[in-house]
């Protein structure tokens, strides 16, 4: 099983999970991020059990994990330019 076979599925998973992600301007951002993280964790656990039967579901969720890391990095790293 090659990872390069499933790069398009990882990219689609990244985009879908990125759209589902909570917006930072929301007043309930912490609660929504916790629910998002829990859903992603349960999805990852569930698809890891199916990996040998349906590997595309697992790689779709791997795209979600990358989206989650992107969301955390975007939230944690601030770049500001001062004059």
pLDDT digits (tens, 9 = 90+) for 20-74: 888 888 888 889 888 988 998 888 888 888 878 888 888 888 899 999 899 888 8
- Residue pair 29/77 in contact (Cβ under 8 Å)? The answer is no
Mean pLDDT over 15-21 rounds to 89
Q: Is residue 49 part of a domain?
A: yes
Q: Is residue 31 part of a domain?
A: yes
The CA distance from 82 to 38, in Å, is 38
Mean pLDDT over 6-28 rounds to 88
Q: Is residue 66 part of a domain?
A: yes
The CA distance from 41 to 33, in Å, is 12
Domain hosting 37: range is 3-76
Q: Is residue 83 part of a domain?
A: no
Domain count, the chain: 1
Question: Using the 8-state DSSP alphabet, how is residue 79 labeled?
Answer: -
The CA distance from 8 to 36, in Å, is 23
| 19-33: burial string, b at 16+ Cβ within 10 Å, e else | eebbeeeeeeeeeeb
Q: Is residue 50 part of a domain?
A: yes
Query: What pLDDT was estimated at residue 1?
Result: 59
């Amino acid at each position: 099983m090659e990872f390069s076979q499933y790069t398009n599925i990882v990219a689609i998973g990244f985009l879908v999970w990125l759209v589902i992600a909570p917006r930072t301007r929301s007043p309930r951002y912490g609660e929504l991020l916790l629910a998002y993280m829990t859903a992603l964790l349960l999805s990852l656990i569930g698809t890891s059990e199916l990996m040998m039967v349906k590997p595309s579901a697992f790689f779709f969720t791997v795209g979600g994990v990358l989206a989650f890391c992107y969301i955390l990095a975007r939230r944690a790293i601030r770049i500001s330019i001062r004059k």
